[in-house]
């Protein structure tokens, strides 16, 4: 589906932003691209680019004017200090939702495995599991999910919250056999986020059809998305590619968890059981 109104894509200079810029432009979408960093690729057809800071509400409002959909992929995408994450991820997300409220636009918010990263890998999660962020980055994604729900409940701003696992061309290690989502599946998911008649405030687990996946029920039937790819064919190639850190290997969030980890043991599992 080609949206009838322009689509704002924040974080266009990042890895996922570059992927979406090229693939969505090829589908005929009219894109308004933005990032605080310069765009490192050739500007796609039917696209414009604006250098802007997500902490600037006026700039966000101007870029969102007339848009029917906002793909919010801007902000810090790795585990960093709270002060580093605070402006782009917390205040920036608020500015996006205020702009969406003004324009009556739908939002695609990329949440993350790191919003639930402190669940153990043996636990299978549904969309209504308690959030369990594994760091300040994951905390910002949990905040974004709650912000989206607030704006839906109070202002009828629709959102699709994609708890992204690992958007990569191929699987690099054993953990990502569980969290991998192919580029094709991811682009198809974004297309359905735009095309679905109604999304309300829906959670989607961002993974391909992986038999080793950590996640189960979500709203994919509501938006009409079914992943077509799977990590299973890559299992033999990455067999044995693990770390020697027991914390990393225990939890769904992987390496982000050990940044500033100061416990001498493991956090209790029973408080966060998911049936």
| Angle, CA 265 vertex, CA 260 and CA 267 arms, to 5° | 80
User: CB of 23 within 8 A of CB of 187?
Assistant: yes
E strands in 78-237: 106-112, 159-164, 166-167, 180-181, 201-206
Task: State how far the Cα of 37 lies from the Cα of 76, in Å rounded to an integer.
Answer: 12
3-state secondary structure of 33: strand
Q: What are phi and psi of 268, to 5 degrees?
A: -65, 135
User: CB of 137 within 8 A of CB of 89?
Assistant: yes
Q: Is residue 151 annotated as part of the catalytic site, yes or no?
A: no
Q: How many CB atoms lie within 10 A of CB 47?
A: 21
**Active-site pick, 94, 119, 136, 137:** 137
User: CB of 203 within 8 A of CB of 219?
Assistant: yes
Give the list of residues 6+ apart from residue 189 with CB closer than 8 angstroms, or none. Answer: 162, 181, 204, 206, 225, 227
Task: State how far the Cα of 212 lies from the Cα of 230, in Å rounded to an integer.
Answer: 10
Rounded to the nearest angstrom, the gap between the alpha carbon of residue 180 and the centroid of all alpha carbons in its chain is 13
Q: Which residues are catalytic?
A: 137
């Amino acid at each position: 589906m080609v949206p009838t109104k322009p689509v704002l894509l924040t974080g266009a200079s990042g890895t996922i932003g570059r992927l979406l810029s090229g693939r969505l432009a090829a589908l005929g979408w009219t894109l308004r691209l933005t990032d605080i960093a310069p765009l490192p690729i050739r500007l796609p057809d039917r696209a414009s680019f604006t250098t802007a800071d997500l902490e600037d509400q006026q700039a966000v409002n101007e870029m969102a004017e007339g848009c029917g959909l906002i793909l919010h992929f801007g902000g810090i995408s790795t585990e960093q200090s709270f002060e580093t994450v605070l402006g782009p991820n917390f205040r920036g997300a608020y500015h996006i939702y205020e702009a969406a409220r003004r324009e009556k636009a739908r939002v695609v918010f990329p949440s993350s495995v790191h919003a639930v990263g402190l669940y153990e890998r043996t636990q299978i999660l549904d969309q209504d599991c308690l959030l369990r962020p594994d760091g300040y980055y994951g905390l910002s994604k949990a905040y974004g999910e709650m912000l989206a729900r607030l704006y839906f409940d109070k202002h009828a701003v629709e959102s699709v919250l994609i708890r992204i696992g690992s958007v990569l061309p191929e699987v690099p290690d054993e953990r990502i056999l569980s969290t991998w989502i192919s580029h094709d599946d991811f682009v198809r998911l974004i297309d359905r986020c735009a095309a679905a008649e109604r999304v309300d405030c829906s959670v989607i687990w961002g993974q391909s059809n992986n038999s080793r996946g950590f996640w189960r029920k979500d709203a994919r039937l509501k938006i009409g998305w079914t992943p077509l790819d799977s990590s299973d064919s890559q299992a033999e190639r990455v067999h044995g590619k693990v770390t020697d850190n027991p914390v990393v290997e225990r939890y769904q969030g992987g390496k982000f968890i050990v940044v500033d980890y100061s416990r001498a043991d493991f956090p209790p599992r029973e408080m966060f059981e998911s049936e």
